[in-house]
Amino acid sequence: MDLSNENVVHVKKDGVEFLQFRKLLDYKDVNHAYSLGIDKNYRTTQQETYQQAIKDYEDLCKAINSKPENLVKTNQEHTDQVAVVKKKIYSNKPDFNLEEYAKTDGLITNLPNIMLSTTNADCILLLFFDPVKKVIANSHSGWKGTLQRISVKTVKKMKEIFDCNPEDVICCICPSIRKCHFEVERDVKEKFAKEIEDIEDINDIITETTLNKKWNIDTVKINKIILQKEGLKPENIIDSKICSVCQSEFIHSYRAEKEGYGLNTAIIELK
């Protein structure tokens, strides 16, 4: 099956499969990918999967003509904290599981040859690129991160530290759980209703299911709206339009796999 659509291209190279955003492929100074394949697992925080994760990262980096030692990964704890990467800590291996990136879910840099990495299994991963200021960012926005508006805080930090203009920033939304499968209980629904009460389309974003009295929430649409409110142009918010649950044959999904779920990765690097 080919997951390509008007926004992403499904690449198969040297036994590795990944998605790339057509919009970012227009630029020669940025490199990126979103991994595919449930036979791959990019989990790095558990020793029993670390060596396999390193091998999977090596294969993916090689496929896009990059180097695994360029990798920097946030530790992802469902926070709204975004760190600026000012240098590589290790020169000969990835910067994984480091205290420097504890309790952070987003990374920003303007340095070439530093590849920012996040992982997901239903959560939203957001790749940012400012082609004018030459700045990239990579943020993990699960439902808790979406409630905390980490996508907006990433853009704000790009503005604060690197003087980025939101109108120049491109944001690519990787495969994630979509409204069709993001079903929640009343407590989560009420948290969203309170947080996004300033959004006009709230009745379209949160809908009640008639059978079991639960609610489906469109977290992707929330991020699109709040990013536009921050100044991003609608045409610069590029959605993969792929649900990780619907496509769980190709993409790791916590809701589909349950315990023992794997992880996919999104990576982005300035050349």
Per-residue DSSP letter, 95: B
Q: Are 159 and 132 in contact (CB under 8 A)?
A: no
CATH number of 8-180+233-270: 3.60.140.10
Which portions of the chain are predicted below pLDDT 50? none
- H-only helix segments in the chain: 22-25, 47-63, 143-147, 150-162, 186-195, 202-205, 219-229, 254-257
DSSP state of 196: T
3-state secondary structure of 65: coil
Query: Is the Cα dihedral 160, 20, 216, 120 positive or negative?
Result: negative
Q: What's the pLDDT tens digit per position in 2-34?
A: 999 999 999 999 999 999 999 999 999 999 999
With 0-12 CB in 10 A as exposed, 13-18 as middle and 19+ as buried, what is 170?
A: buried
- Which residue ranges make up each domain of the chain? 8-180+233-270
Q: What is the pLDDT of residue 212?
A: 77
With the C-alpha atoms ordered 91, 95, 101, 105, is the resulting torsion angle positive or negative?
Answer: positive
Q: How many other C-beta atoms lie within 10 A of the C-beta of residue 148? A: 18
Token pair, residue 119, equals 């992982």
Distance (Å, whole) CA 146 – CA 248: 22
pLDDT at 210: 73
Q: How far apart are CA 34 and CA 17, in angstroms?
A: 9
DSSP label at residue 125:
E
Q: What is the pLDDT of residues 32-60, one digit of tens each?
A: 999 999 999 999 987 778 999 999 999 99
* Predicted pLDDT at 200: 82
